[in-house]
Amino acid sequence: MNSRSILLVESIRKSFIRNTISMSGDSIDERYHIIDDLDMEVPEGKITALIGGNGAGKTTLFNIISGFVSPDSGEILFRKNDKVIPLTNMSPHDRTRLGIGRMFQDTHIFPNMTVMENMLIASSETNGEQPFVSLVVFCREDRVEKKRISKAREIFETLFGQESPLWLKRNEPATSLSFGQQRLLGLARLFMGDYSLVLLDEPTAGVSPQLIPQIIMIIRFFVESQGITVFLIEHNMKVVQELADFCTFMSHGRITAFGTPEDVIGNPEVRKAYMGV
């Protein structure tokens, strides 16, 4: 594993069974490899964009990295404090505790919670979940809760300003926010965790063009001010070119190009396969 990489994906394969109809009309189950002997590394302290067509396997790769899908074979290694840790058999919540955060393609906001509660539940600090333990450490938990609220407020003010809609609506249900504001909330929640790597699945998808510069600013803040590594799936090539340090192209379950955004997006094979030009 390269000493400058935070994540190594090595020889990963993932297949699914799909049902097809033959020319004779017979129903046939066939194995389809959505990830096929994939190798890649994510450079530490940088922003790496993953691009590729629909069905290329990008979200499946994210699901494997974060532990929601198990690969058929292969290995994933994560570097933390100069120690290389195998992830392959680790549960999703253990990967989160290790320092891997994720924002999904949809907002994944808890609709019955307030905006502030959505922030607090994402905190890396635990609050005694066992009733008897909670009674013993009540005073400590009260201090932890105040610390969480203070941290959430600081995040809102740093990212959005003191009079931002997210702060003004902090005690309202998260569903009172627009889709774009919910996406901003999803990004802000990641600052509540103690993450060294965050996976962002199409962070600009479905939001108004006016919000995209703000999303770009937040993602840069992850890296430049917090030292967090960002690995993101993105279809907006302008965003990739403006934001990413490195770009990876995925096609038919494999990584077929890696380099700067200009090199990858300008690659004739990538342009033909992905952009049809």
Residue 54: the pLDDT is 87
With a cut of 60, say whether residue 9 has pLDDT above it.
yes
Q: Both tokens of residue 91?
A: 């549960």
Q: Mean per-residue pLDDT for 207-228?
A: 93
Q: Residue 12: enclosing H or E segment and its boundaries? A: strand 5-21
Residue 134: the pLDDT is 39
What are the distances in angstroms from CA 271 to CA 48, 266, 276?
A: 19, 7, 6
With a cut of 90, say whether residue 247 has pLDDT above it.
yes
Residue 276: the pLDDT is 64
Express each pLDDT in 127-157 by its tens digit: 434 434 434 444 555 677 888 888 888 999 9
- How much is the mean pLDDT over the chain? 87
Pairing of strands 100-103, 197-201: parallel
Q: Mean per-residue pLDDT for 218-225?
A: 93
Express each pLDDT in 25-69 by its tens digit: 777 777 888 999 999 999 999 999 999 988 899 999 999 999 999
Torsional sign, CA 58, 62, 65, 67: negative
Instruction: Report the first-to-last Cα separation within the chain, whole angstroms.
Output: 35
Residue 147: the pLDDT is 86
Express each pLDDT in 177-215 by its tens digit: 999 999 999 999 999 988 999 999 999 998 999 999 999
Higher per-residue pLDDT: 160 or 24 = 160
Residue 24: the pLDDT is 78
Residue ranges per structural domain of the chain: 110-176
Residue 38: the pLDDT is 95
Lowest-confidence region among 24-28, 112-116, 247-251? 24-28
Residue 129: the pLDDT is 41
Q: Both tokens of residue 23?
A: 């020319």
Distance CA 226, CA 191 (A): 9
Say what the pTM is: 0.86
Higher per-residue pLDDT: 104 or 131 = 104
Residue 144: the pLDDT is 75
Residue 138: the pLDDT is 44
Distance CA 273, CA 277 (A): 8
**Virtual torsion, Cα 133, 138, 144, 150, nearest 10 deg:** 150
